[in-house]
Amino acid sequence: MSRSFRAETVKLVRRPAFWLLLAITLVLSLIFTYVFPYASIAGGTTGPNADRTLPMLLPDRLVGNSLGGLPVFLGSIVLILGVLTVGGEYGWGTWKTVLSQGPSRLEVYAGKLLTLAAAALVVVLSVFAVGAVSSALIAVAESQPVHWPSAGDLLTGIGAGWLMATMWAMLGAVLAVALRAVALPVGLGLVWMLAVQNLLAAIAAPLLAWVAQLQKGLPGPNAASLAAALGAPGDTPGVAATVGGGQAALVVAGYLIAFAAVGGLLLQRRDIG
Amino acid sequence: MNLPVHTEGLTKRYGGLTAVRDLDLTVRAGEVYGFLGPNGAGKTTTLRMLLGLVRPTSGTVRLLGRAPGAGRLTGVGALIEGPAFYPYLSGRDNLRVLARYAGVGADRVSLVLDLVDLTERAGDRYAGYSLGMKQRLGVASALLKDPRLLILDEPTNGLDPAGMADMRTLIRRLGAGGCTVLVSSHLLGEVEQVCDRVGVISRGRLIAEGSVADLRGATGLRVLADPLDVAAARAGALVGEERVRVVDGGLDLSIEPERAAWLNAELVDAGVAVRELRPRERDLEQVFFDLIEKGTADVA
């Protein structure tokens, strides 16, 4: 499997789309987590997130601020990365090229998943790094003391962020295998994450008790709960404490494994066209 | 003995459509085997089944004596249904990635690029390659593992005449070097020039197999002579009237071509002026269409 992991890593690192998605992730994270709220605070304007105060942008809130985007917006970008990594092989017709060299389907698939997991870690670490620099700059600019989260909190936050990001990447991967394409899985994945999840939470769940119960088992609300449990601001779109942090972590991990397993099963059983 | 390719009763059905039907295919070690058939006959589906890309509905496949499973494609190189690579990587980097999957050293990459004459453009992005260059890169990828069995699906597609000639030379050279080659094609001339043995597939069934000469079937002699009636009478007396036919102002004789000199001498002795005397072979294209027609009728 290590040879597949190395090959997949080369393909991902050399792929411009990966760097573009990473750049978009960091820019969105920077702008919506720090720049707009700070500009609002500095300018005294009101609007969404206007209840964010300066202490919420300082380094001791790094973990929560870094996780806030992962249940929906940054998670969507990681989902796209998952689709591209697996679905690209269908789009370019390269499954046959790769498999003709001898590795088994599951060996290649496992290499892809490992690479996606590593890429998810890179994304999360980058978000944390950008957040650290941004919050430190704000603290210095506002003459505030710089207090960092403890090493344990940082590690827990990074681990939780990796769990969420990897789960979304696996969802992208399984959609790509199921639909054997790129465009449709991206479209459906984004519709689910940006529209269906929000509609369920905002409209259906308050009206119907069973939908509210169902929410507690879905990946988005559990990712949102995990982020909330680790300090993500409650006014961040998609962040809400529907269940406890421990349960959320378990459910997110369960979905990660399930998505990976279903994708592998489908890939193993179906013909390569 | 481990046959490079051996299938028994290989069948693939897609719903109500049978793409490949009870295919028993055997390719012997060291031969260049042509897998001939019209588009849609089941060639690519068969090759995909050999490589494990498509699962047979029934039947068995063994490559180099190995059944499906881990390590099955060790020593097997393949180019199936046209080249497919990562467009954002160069040709060389594409091969490097594939070399990692194959578990071969990077030195093989330069070697196979040389073999297909692509070294000069190896640093260019694959997306900018011409169809011919893409095809050559596909063949290079098939050669990465220094295979003992090479499976090529329509390898000359997209190549210009010079490229096609180069490809035929390469295939012949690989065959001469001990590599077993299974090459599919719908081009008769291509198969005729490079293959030791040919299998013809139509509507998923192997309808004929043998050397090109075998497939051509009975040969004879074509004679243009004056006067034709005297020539026909004399030839009939010599070889039997049932073996002589007057066709298009000449004689078609169903006898061994090696008897040409003897026949010429006899006709000249009989006062016949022989203008032309040559072996008569069935046109391979006609043989092919006859076989396809026969196969279609059998299936129907």
Prediction ipTM score: 0.89
Q: What proportion of chain A, given as a percentage, has pLDDT over 70?
A: 96
Cα R_g (chain A), whole angstroms:
19
Tell if the CB–CB gap between A99 and B51 is shorter than 8 Å: yes
How many whole angstroms separate alpha carbon B282 and alpha carbon B47? 29
Q: What is the pTM of this model?
A: 0.86
- Mark the ranges of chain B whose per-residue pLDDT is less than 70: 1, 70, 218, 282-285, 295-300
- Any idea which of A105-114, A184-193, A197-206 has the lowest mean pLDDT? A197-206
Fold of B218-280: Alpha-Beta Plaits (3.30.70)
Maximum Cα interatomic distance, chain A, rounded to a whole number of Å = 63
* Residues in A touching B76 (Cβ below 8 Å): 100, 102
Tokens 């991902």 belong to A12
- Using a CB–CB cutoff of 8 Å, tell me whether B248 touches chain A: no
**Which of B81, B85, B86, B151 should one mutate to test binding to chain A, selecting the residue with the greatest count of A CBs within 10 A?**
B86
**Contact by Cβ (8 Å): B181, B174:** yes
Distances in Å between the Cα of B6 and the Cα atoms of B12, B35, B48, B177 are 16, 14, 14, 21
Close Cβ partners of B7 (under 8 Å, ≥ 6 residues apart): B23, B24, B25, B26, B46, B49, B50, B59, B60, B61, B62
Helices marked H in B195-245 — which ranges? 212-216, 228-239
Sheet holding B197-202, edge to edge: B76-79, B149-153, B180-185, B32-36, B197-202, B205-210
Closest to A10 in 3D by CA, of A91, A162, A166, A118: A118
How many domains, in total, are found in chain A?
Answer: 1
H-helix or E-strand spanning residue B253: strand B250-253
Pick the CATH number of B5-215 from 3.90.700.10, 3.40.50.300, 3.30.2320.80, 3.60.15.10: 3.40.50.300
Confidence band, pLDDT 50/70/90 cuts, at residue A45? low
How would residue A47 be classed by pLDDT, with cut points 50, 70 and 90?
A: low
* H/E element, B221: strand B220-226
* Amino acid B300: pLDDT: 47
Residue B50 · residue B199 · CB < 8 Å: no
- Check if B74 contacts A (Cβ < 8 Å): yes
Using CA atoms, how far apart are residues A24 and B5, in angstroms rounded to an integer?
50
Q: Of the candidates A15, A88, A103, which has its C-beta nearest B101's C-beta?
A: A103
* Pairwise CA distance, residues B281 & A223, whole Å: 76
**Chain B CB contacts of A108 below 8 Å:** 101
Beta strands at B5-14 and B58-63: parallel, antiparallel or unpaired:
antiparallel
Check if B5-215 and B218-280 are the same fold. no
d(CA A126, CA A78): 13
A151 touches chain B (CB under 8 A): no
Closest Cα in chain A to B81: A96
Residues in chain A closer than 8 A to B101 (CB atoms): 3-4, 7, 98, 101-103, 108
Query: Domain limits at A129?
Result: 2-269
Q: Is the dihedral of CA A170, A175, A181, A186 positive or negative?
A: negative
Query: Per the structure block, which two tokens stand in for A268?
Result: 């193993």
The domain segmentation of chain B, as residue ranges, is 5-215, 218-280
pLDDT tens digits for A104-158? 999 999 999 999 999 999 999 999 999 999 999 999 998 898 999 999 999 999 9
* Cis bond before residue A185 (omega within 30° of 0): no
| Chain A partners within 8 Å of B141 (Cβ) | 97, 100-101
CB contact under 8 Å between A100 and B78, yes or no, is yes
* SS3 (DSSP) at B130: coil
**Taking a C-beta distance cutoff of 8 angstroms, is the pair A45, A152 a contact?**
no
Q: Tell me, what's the pLDDT at A163?
A: 97
